[in-house]
Structure 1
Amino acid sequence: MSSTTTPGPPPLVDPSRLVADPGAAARELHEAGPVHRIAGTDGLPAWLVTGYDDVRRALGDPRLALDKRHAAPGGYRGLALPPALDANLLNMDPPDHTRIRRLVSRAFTPRRVEQLREPIRGTADRLLDAVAPHGRAELISAYAAPLPITVICELLGVAPGDRADFRAWTDALITPDPARPGQAKEAVGSMLAFLTRLLAAKRTDPADDLLSDLIAVRDEEDRLTEDELMSLAFLILFAGYENTVHLIGNATLALLGHPEQLRALRRDPGRIGAAVEELARYDGPAPLAIRRFAVEDVTIGGVTVPAGETVLLSLAAAHRDPRRFPEPDRLDLDRDASGHLALGHGIHYCLGAPLARMETEIALIALLDRFPRLALDASPEELRWRPSIRARGLLALPVRW
């Protein structure tokens, strides 16, 4: 008599591998298969998709929803936000997503973004002026972080005196101190209180800024609700700051680690646009896309994901897929990296992508112009990264010139 056993679920992939050595982890994942079981950002099991084609398709698949109401009972338990901050585009699917994105697009125009070009360069120059006499600096705190926070606050119309708090709040949400278990909740409360006051002030005294325009924007009889306004301001601040800090820091480190590529860019700074695309592919700021939930049983890469389960799309692994990017572990500023997914794909493509690109291009060129002898002021092994699979970013980047 013979018996058969039903195979159990695949073993969980250790997410710490994706933080410690994302390139090596991507190679192992691609060799093992296109879909894996992983301990997700909330510690619960999730499905991790790694192949470029599968990730790209999944980013636009309506069967993979962002709305947390599609999560299975007792499943996903991510960051809990109050309703006023939870009604944002990262938690929405059509038709709500379509309506809000259309309204936001009326205010967040290419013209408004282009108007920031000169202020961004001016801010970059002032930050570099402050560190130039010292011959060395910690580049994240002195340059990569204050530049985007200044730009986002200028865009929203936040007064200079309030900007330091914004950085502390966003840092607390991304990597809260384990010794302070209530830190993230405190940051959310502080941010909500501040945005409530700020919106009230903009209604009373509107100015030439994005937040005032979002309050005023309408489409026929439709306009943004109070919670939608609040959550949009939160999302623009949080995502706009976080991703750009890491993109600037990671790109700088990549260039310093590849001197021949750095020399080529110095010789021809007009290549900066294409260079930023490759740098975003090579070591982007978001290892994962925002989590999704299967609204029905979905087959991805030959694996069936049951309805209600959490799906994580690995942008980092997709960018190291040799079937899409030959020699993916090689930084090549001449590569056509235009298909990268660092800023999303499909209906959820990042609204702030043009601004993030502009900031990174300006930040890198200003830095390289100012310091022809820029060099890393530590061994690569000494550098520390944020202990999070949500964000790929350096805690510090010591440099000298």
Structure 2
Amino acid sequence: MAATEFEMPLVNDPSFKADAHARYIGLRTRGPVQVVAQPSGLDLYLVLDHELARVALTHPDLVKDPAVGRAGLDAAGIVSYQGSGQGLGANMLMADPPDHARLRGPVARAFTPRRVESLRPRVQELADALVDAIEAKAAAGEPIDLVEDFTGPLPIMVICELLGVPDEAREHFRAWTLAAVSGGSSTPSVAQQDGMLAINRYLAELIATKQAAPDPGDDLLAALIRVNAEDEGALTAEELLGTAVMLLVAGHETTVNLLGNAAAALLDHPEQAALLREKPELLPGAIEEFLRFDAPVDQTPLRFAACDVELGGVLIPKGSALSVSLAAVGRDPSLTPNPAELDVTRPDGRHLSFGHGIHYCVGAPLARLEGVIAVGTMLRRLPSLRLVGRYADLNWTVGGIMHGPQAIPATL
């Protein structure tokens, strides 16, 4: 069966992203796997069904290796900037077995539940300080933007704290990361390249400093260096740098969108916010609902068919590119009743927003911790917070695979 009986929609362009959920509903009526076009010119198979997404994310013949899809990538003019010291570099997110296990092992050993839980007091302290600043802005009659003032800075503060990045560099990291993930074109812009190069240069210097220090500290980057030394260099210098860059960029920007999506959804559903204020014990389940309702990552990074693959009755030819729409599968009617409704009491909490299988997000516990603390603090300390304008008029990320509000104008 083919998936090209209809005109191919152009996804990830601004008009599609602005109305993505409605567009995905329309696509799903055509079938659970659709061929769609990217602004770059790359055609890809997009999975819209929850159960098929689980299959696709664990299918041994749908691989991360871009060499498998090189012909299509070249035809679309897609330029990679993932070389050592330039982009994300070599890391577990972009690796297939057996390299994936080797690259993930040191991270899993260093990124322990105990390390994440130890951050709880500091995350609360940072969240409270940001709310203090919001209250001061409101008192001075200054406009509030929750993305700029709260949901954006908190994750970069936390990930820098986790990695052991000194305070004086954190403001730069936010600017670099914003530039690195901006846009979504096939050829990285000068701003994207500059952002990634700056991150790589700084982290390469920080790794070298920690490696040379008698006591590199107790942060995640120091722990990763120690674990790698104990594993007799399981990661090369290039892979260690690539892993550090991946932890910073992926671990930060996804949480920015989780918090931004949650804040926007609650401002649009004041009855749900009131329920969480009344019953804060619902917060952990509410975070799962926010992840389902508005996935921070709209579409997964590309996979490529290593051979002809049949998925949901659709033949995906060898070399073809495939992505799973996490935004679409979160609202699949087969997943949960009334999927378009926000319900912080929803009991099952099923979603794929942290992935599935060997690439399940290693930072999921930290994202959940930040979500509970950030949303809880906002609800508790800013009970009179209101959206300025309409939810429907919010501007969302343009291009790329992320999904989150670019700004949330609010008032007390």
Question: Same fold judged by TM-score > 0.5?
Answer: yes
TM-score norm. by structure 1 comes to 0.94
What is residue 312 of structure 2 aligned with on the other side? Answer: 301
CA distance in 1, matches of 2:283, 2:108: 27
What is residue 364 of structure 2 aligned with on the other side? Answer: 353
1:86 counterpart SS class = coil
From the superposition, tell whether residues 21 and 143 of structure 1 become closer, same or farther in structure 2 (CA, over 3 Å).
Answer: same
Which of these residues, 335, 338, 346, is aligned with residue 349 of structure 2? 338
CA distance in 1, matches of 2:113, 2:319: 38
CA distance in 1, matches of 2:198, 2:303: 28
Task: Tell whether the 8 Å contact from 2:184 to 2:399 is kept in structure 1 after alignment.
Answer: no
Q: Which runs of 5+ in 1 are unaligned?
A: 1-5
CA distance in 1, matches of 2:341, 2:16: 18
The worse-fitting range, judged by mean Cα deviation, of 39-48 and 339-348 is 39-48
Residue identity in the other structure for 1:167:
R
Please state if 1:12 is matched with 2:8: yes
Please state if 1:182 is matched with 2:190: yes
Task: Tell whether the 8 Å contact from 2:91 to 2:239 is kept in structure 1 after alignment.
Answer: yes
Residue identity in the other structure for 2:194:
E
What is residue 120 of structure 1 aligned with on the other side? Answer: 123
1:399 counterpart SS class = strand
| Cα deviation 1:268-306 (Å, max 9, x = unaligned) | 011100000001100121111111011111011111001
Please state if 1:102 is matched with 2:105: yes
CA distance in 2, matches of 1:89, 1:197: 22
What is residue 282 of structure 1 aligned with on the other side? Answer: 293
| Cα deviation 1:42-96 (Å, max 9, x = unaligned) | 4311111111111111111111101212214243635422234420112101111
1:11 counterpart SS class = coil
Which of these residues, 42, 45, 59, is aligned with residue 44 of structure 1? 42
CA distance in 1, matches of 2:72, 2:352: 31
CA distance in 2, matches of 1:137, 1:131: 7
Matches within 5 A, 1:72-83: 72-75=70-73, 77=78, 79-83=80-84
Which of these residues, 38, 63, 67, is aligned with residue 61 of structure 2? 63
Q: Which runs of 5+ in 2 are unaligned?
A: none
Q: Displacement of 1:99 after TM fit?
A: 1.3
Residue identity in the other structure for 2:164:
G
Task: Tell whether the 8 Å contact from 2:180 to 2:194 is kept in structure 1 after alignment.
Answer: no
What is residue 21 of structure 2 aligned with on the other side? Answer: 23
Residue identity in the other structure for 1:150:
M
CA distance in 2, matches of 1:155, 1:172: 21
Which of these residues, 157, 160, 163, is aligned with residue 167 of structure 2? 160
Task: Tell whether the 8 Å contact from 1:81 to 1:188 is kept in structure 2 after alignment.
Answer: no
Please state if 1:208 is matched with 2:218: yes
CA distance in 1, matches of 2:3, 2:292: 37
The worse-fitting range, judged by mean Cα deviation, of 145-154 and 185-194 is 185-194
Task: Tell whether the 8 Å contact from 2:303 to 2:322 is kept in structure 1 after alignment.
Answer: yes
Matches within 5 A, 1:359-374: 359-374=370-385
CA distance in 2, matches of 1:128, 1:267: 20
Please state if 1:192 is matched with 2:200: yes
CA distance in 2, matches of 1:8, 1:382: 33
Residue identity in the other structure for 2:65:
D
Which of these residues, 63, 83, 91, is aligned with residue 88 of structure 1? 91
Residue identity in the other structure for 1:231:
G
CA distance in 2, matches of 1:37, 1:176: 22
Which of these residues, 163, 172, 175, is aligned with residue 179 of structure 2? 172
2:389 counterpart SS class = coil
What is residue 151 of structure 2 aligned with on the other side? Answer: 144
From the superposition, tell whether residues 313 and 269 of structure 1 become closer, same or farther in structure 2 (CA, over 3 Å).
Answer: same
2:36 counterpart SS class = strand
The worse-fitting range, judged by mean Cα deviation, of 16-25 and 157-166 is 16-25
Q: Displacement of 1:393 after TM fit?
A: 1.1
CA distance in 1, matches of 2:41, 2:129: 42
Please state if 1:384 is matched with 2:387: no
From the superposition, tell whether residues 258 and 207 of structure 1 become closer, same or farther in structure 2 (CA, over 3 Å).
Answer: same
Task: Tell whether the 8 Å contact from 1:177 to 1:183 is kept in structure 2 after alignment.
Answer: no
What is residue 3 of structure 1 aligned with on the other side? Answer: none
TM-score norm. by structure 2 comes to 0.91
The worse-fitting range, judged by mean Cα deviation, of 230-239 and 333-342 is 333-342
| Cα deviation 1:177-220 (Å, max 9, x = unaligned) | 99x94111122221221111111111122111111111111465
CA distance in 2, matches of 1:245, 1:171: 11
Q: Displacement of 1:400 after TM fit?
A: 1.3
Task: Tell whether the 8 Å contact from 1:278 to 1:336 is kept in structure 2 after alignment.
Answer: no
Task: Tell whether the 8 Å contact from 2:3 to 2:35 is kept in structure 1 after alignment.
Answer: no
Q: Displacement of 1:7 after TM fit?
A: 11
CA distance in 2, matches of 1:158, 1:221: 25
Q: Percent identity between the aligned chains? A: 41
Residue identity in the other structure for 2:137:
H
From the superposition, tell whether residues 220 and 106 of structure 1 become closer, same or farther in structure 2 (CA, over 3 Å).
Answer: same
Q: Displacement of 1:21 after TM fit?
A: 1.3
RMSD, aligned CA:
2.0
From the superposition, tell whether residues 263 and 185 of structure 1 become closer, same or farther in structure 2 (CA, over 3 Å).
Answer: same
CA distance in 2, matches of 1:8, 1:324: 26
Task: Tell whether the 8 Å contact from 2:10 to 2:39 is kept in structure 1 after alignment.
Answer: no
Task: Tell whether the 8 Å contact from 2:61 to 2:309 is kept in structure 1 after alignment.
Answer: yes
2:107 counterpart SS class = helix
CA distance in 1, matches of 2:377, 2:119: 15
Q: Displacement of 1:134 after TM fit?
A: 2.9
Residue identity in the other structure for 2:198:
S
Residue identity in the other structure for 1:201:
T
1:70 counterpart SS class = helix
CA distance in 2, matches of 1:134, 1:352: 32
